[in-house]
A and B are shown apart, each in its own frame.
Chain A
Amino acid sequence: MSSLRNVAIVGFAQLPVVARDLHRTSPEMLYPVVRQALADCGVERDAIDFQIAGSVDYMDGRPFGFVAALDVMGSWPPRLDLHLEMDASFCAYYAWLRMQAGDCDTAIVVGHGKTSEGDPRRVLNLQLDPYYQAPMGLDPVSTAALQASAYMARSGVSDRDLASVAAANRTAGARNPENQLHTAATPDELLKTPWAVEPLRSGYLPPVGETATCMVLAAEGKAESMCDRPVWIQGVDHRTELQTIGARDLTQSASARLAAEQALAMAGLQTASEVDVVELFALTPAEELILCDALGLDAQAARPVRNPSGGPLCGYPIMSTGAIRMAEIFRQLSGRAGARAVPGARRAIAHATQGHCLQHNIIWVLGTDRRWA
């Protein structure tokens, strides 16, 4: 790997994840977040070279939902801009790439979506091909349950194992004030929750939540003045795979595995177990275990610490959940994690996914030190 530009996360702001904000529209939720993120970096809006937003029209329940967000992002005078129909974690990738191309030094990356206005199970059915899969009424909970079923059959993982993974997230999440779910739960409690779609219980699935997020990225030379402890991007890669769930081996995530290999190589690491913390965008305990396999992690090991934030199980705002994984790592590595700080954490992985059954995965390797001289 030739030398790249060192780029850091220097700021992040979000609203606490809630089931439904009755008082604000999606752009109105975003405005204070952009202000806060910039204020935390000690810069005015004009200090930012590039802006990028992630949202989905079908989640917004209207075409061009992202256009209204321009008005709350400080888009005057006109700004270099892009919008992706993707989670903000993927938007951050593009902003990072733009810095590699030398086209900007600073960027804001926002994610917004008023998840509570629509019905994600219906909306995400429409992600499936309209000829074979969508007409069957498949929704993301059902496809996740199919994946869990295939994984359990192959691996021997039990219902109780899934409950344990979910409980670990819930227990960690109780210490995170930004979460929608704040109550710890034990495996026994979760085992008593009703089936959502068997083999997944309601206690293994996140409630629908909403928020707005803004991340600030800055290249070396700018980052240092914007943050006391910038968290540096040491490696990143993302990969997608074919959609048809019956044509994939659902018991593993080939795209996550490849993305992890590439990102680790960029970071100069041999294995994911060399990091201290991992934040996984897993919507079910089965997905979390499949991702552990893809990363080559022992799911039973104490290190790296997995999902100290509580993970998506404690808050799943669509379009921001991936960005929040990065945010948690930023907090962990920059001394902002408070009571849930992982001792001695210097390097970590943040993951995000989109699509049914972990179709598209991005892996970030982040650290307290610059990667390139």
Chain B
Amino acid sequence: MKRPVAVVGVGQTQHSSRRADVNIAGLVREAVDRALQDAGLEHTDIDAVIIGKAPDMLEGVAQPEQFLVGAVGAHMKPMLRVHTAGSVGASTALAAVTHVASGLYERVLTIAFEKQSEGNAMWALSPNMPFMPPLVAGAGGFFAPYCRAYIQRSGCPAHIGALTAVNARANAAKNEYAHLREPLTVEDVLESPMLWDPIRFGETCPSSDGAIALVLASEAAARKGPRRPAWIKSGASYAEAMWVPGRDQVSPLAGRTCAKHVYDQAGITDLWNQIDAAEIYVPFAWFEAMWLENLGFCAESDGWKIIERGEQKLGAHLPINPSGGVLATNPIGASGMIRFGEAALQVMGRAGEHQVEGAKTALGHAYGGGAQYFAMWIVASDQ
């Protein structure tokens, strides 16, 4: 990056299964208003708006950013719309980072949202297409075989998914914005219906309505803000082809490449000790162990051991998803940016009840497509 970029405002909505009290614009404005207020700014202070969300079939509005121009204060400003499947919230924030890093923009508003209650996510995301094999049963049906392959090749015990889900809910209970905040027990999860064996209902993310907005700023603009910003040390989004023979869907090369890129750029050499908190995209519980390996926090096949030892809990060595993560809250298009925003809140020291004590450096992560799109950033309390 040509010059430093900081997160100076974070705002998110109350996430829930149906935000019938607001329309799409109202949902987005709830997040935007909070982010601007957080940054001590008004719409007129913003130079550009970068919006992301997942497929438009979720709400039934094509390129909805066009009708939202007025709602987000983008009239007569540059605006871009990003879509990179599940990783979109994160890659949208990174596109906004580019704007500030280029030197051409001082303050950029970036927004990601999904209002899944307007339609039906399962219908929207896996339609039966002509000439395509008619078998994939939603995202769960797509990813479950890779969870199974992970379990087989790593020796991961059967209760790891449940341990992950229980921890996510325990954390979400401390997050006022989270969708699912009721505690779960390991028994609850193991007794919940098997949906796509090996994925149980209790190991699956919800379908949520929600939005998040971040305000990014140049160094000069950040120094004028009312609060301590989160400094973006590095960020990158990588994608890889689907039908590559021998492509490792359990630990995709794009994920490993992206991780190396952001660690190198941020000067991270001792991951386990230099990262104080990580918000990673875990839509199905098994992915937490898988991504710990893919991200390089441990050796291959050792990811589940971190979870079995409880080192991923709040207060332990490496808190993973202190917000509760995607397993507690999943407005699809927003989920990646929520990871990024939560990572920023941690290093700003403003995560409230789910604050990781003394967090100085945090990782935000998201993935999408057939585990093909990866987007990550490292944020820190010190510039």
Asked if A and B form a direct contact in the complex, defined as CB atoms under 8 angstroms apart, the reply is yes
Residues of chain A having any CB pair with chain B under 8 Å: 2, 4, 51, 56-58, 62-64, 66-68, 70-71, 73, 75-86, 90, 93-94, 97-98, 100-103, 123-124, 126-131, 133-134, 237-244, 254-255, 258, 354-356, 359-360
Q: CB-CB < 8 A to B91: which residues of A? A: 82
Contact across chains for A240 and B69 when beta carbons are under 8 A apart: yes
Inter-chain contact B62/A56, CB cutoff 8 Å? yes
Given contacts A57-B56, A126-B60, contact A83 B82 (CB under 8 A): yes
With contacts A2-B103, A79-B240, A237-B78 taken as known, whether A63 is within 8 angstroms of B70 at the C-beta atoms is: no
Contact across chains for A94 and B373 when beta carbons are under 8 A apart: no
In the complex, chain B residues 18-39 whose Cβ is within 8 Å of any chain A Cβ: 23-24
Q: Mark B279-311, 1 if CB is under 8 A from A, else 0.
A: 000000000000000000000000000000000
- B168 within 8 Å of A (CB atoms): no
Q: CB-defined interface of B57-89 with A at 8 Å, one 1/0 digit per residue?
A: 101111101110110001111111111110000
Asked if residues A78 and B79 are in contact (CB atoms below 8 Å), the reply is no
Residues of B within 8 A of A78 (CB): 238-240, 252-254, 257-258, 374
| Smallest Cβ-Cβ distance to A102: which chain B residue | B2
CB of A3 to closest CB in B, whole Å: 10
In the complex with contacts A57-B56, A70-B240, A101-B102, A243-B69 CB distance below 8 A: yes
| Cα–Cα distance between A130 and B25 once the two chains are bound (Å) | 11
Contact A242 B1 (CB under 8 A): no
Q: Which residues of B contact A90 (CB under 8 A)?
A: 80
CB within 8 Å for A83 and B84 given contacts A58-B57, A67-B372, A70-B372: yes
Q: Is the pair B99, A80 in contact by a Cβ cutoff of 8 Å? A: no
Whether, in the assembled complex, B242 has its beta carbon less than 8 Å from a beta carbon of chain A, the answer is: yes
Is the CB–CB distance between A70 and B239 below 8 Å? yes
Q: Which residues of B have CB within 8 Å of A258?
A: 76
Are B2 and A100 in contact, with the CB atoms below 8 A? yes
B241 and A71 contacting across the interface, CB-CB below 8 Å: yes
Task: Tell me, in angstroms, the Cα distance from A123 to B99 when the chains sit together.
Answer: 30
Beyond the given A75-B240, A82-B84, please list 6 additional residue pairs across the A-B interface where CB-CB is below 8 A. A62-B127, A78-B253, A81-B237, A127-B62, A127-B66, A129-B67
Q: Interface size on B (CB < 8 Å)?
A: 62
Q: How far is the CA of A66 from the CA of B81 in the complex (A)?
A: 14
Inter-subunit contact B102/A100 (CB<8 Å): yes
Q: Which one of B63, B74, B101, B258 lies within 8 Å of A127 (CB-CB)?
A: B63
A-B contact pairs, 25 of them (CB 8 A): A57-B57, A63-B125, A63-B126, A64-B125, A64-B369, A67-B370, A75-B240, A76-B244, A77-B253, A78-B258, A83-B82, A84-B80, A84-B83, A85-B56, A97-B104, A100-B2, A101-B1, A102-B2, A127-B67, A129-B67, A130-B61, A237-B78, A238-B78, A240-B66, A242-B69
Residues of B within 8 A of A131 (CB): 23
Which of A84, A101, A124, A243 is within 8 Å of B62, CB to CB? A124
Considering the complex, give the chain A residue whose CB is closest to the CB of B252: A78
Nearest residue, chain A, Cβ from B92: A82
What is the bound-complex CA distance between A258 and B74, given in angstroms?
14
Q: Assess whether B9 is interfacial by the CB under 8 Å rule.
A: no
Q: Which residues of A contact B65 (CB under 8 A)?
A: 85
Contacts of B77 in A (CB 8 A): 239-240
Kindly identify which residue among B56, B61, B101, B241 contacts A103, using a CB–CB cutoff of 8 Å: B101
- Verify B238–A79 contact, CB threshold 8 A: yes
Contact, CB under 8 Å: A97 / B241? no
Across the interface, do A97 and B99 meet the contact criterion of CB distance under 8 Å? yes
Q: Which residue of A lies closest to B104 (CB)?
A: A100
Among residues of B, the one whose C-beta sits closest to the C-beta of A59 is: B62
B243 x A94 contact (CB < 8 A): no
CB distance from B283 to the nearest CB of A (A): 15
- A102-B1, A238-B78 are contacts. A77–B240 as well, Cβ < 8 Å? yes
CB proximity to A under 8 Å, residues B101-119: 101-104
Decide: A75 and B241 in contact? CB cutoff 8 A: yes
Question: Are A86 and B81 touching (Cβ within 8 A)?
Answer: yes
Q: B124: CB under 8 A from chain A?
A: yes
B46 close to A (CB within 8 Å): no
- Contact (Cβ within 8 A) A243 B258: no
A241-B76, A242-B75 known; A63 vs B84 contact (CB < 8 Å): no
Compute how far the CA of A265 lies from the CA of B49 in the bound complex, rounded to whole angstroms: 22
Whole-angstrom distance between the alpha carbons of A240 and B48 in the complex?
A: 10
Most chain A C-beta atoms within 10 Å of own C-beta, residue among B91, B124, B239, B374: B239
**Residues of B contacting A123 in the complex (Cβ-Cβ under 8 angstroms):** 62
Residue pair A70, B99 in contact (C-beta under 8 Å): no
Q: Give complex CA distance A238, B49 in Å.
A: 12
What 3 pairs between A and B have smallest CB-CB spacing? A63-B55, A78-B254, A81-B239
Taking a contact as CB atoms closer than 8 A, the residue among B83, B238, B244, B254 that contacts A83 in the complex is: B83
> For B2, what are the chain A residues with a Cβ–Cβ distance below 8 Å?
100-102
In the complex formed, the residue of B with least CB distance to A240 is B79
Question: Would you give the 0/1 interface string for B222-245, flagging 1 where the beta carbon is closer than 8 Å to chain A?
Answer: 000000000000001111111110
**Interfacial chain B residues near A80, Cβ < 8 Å:** 236-238
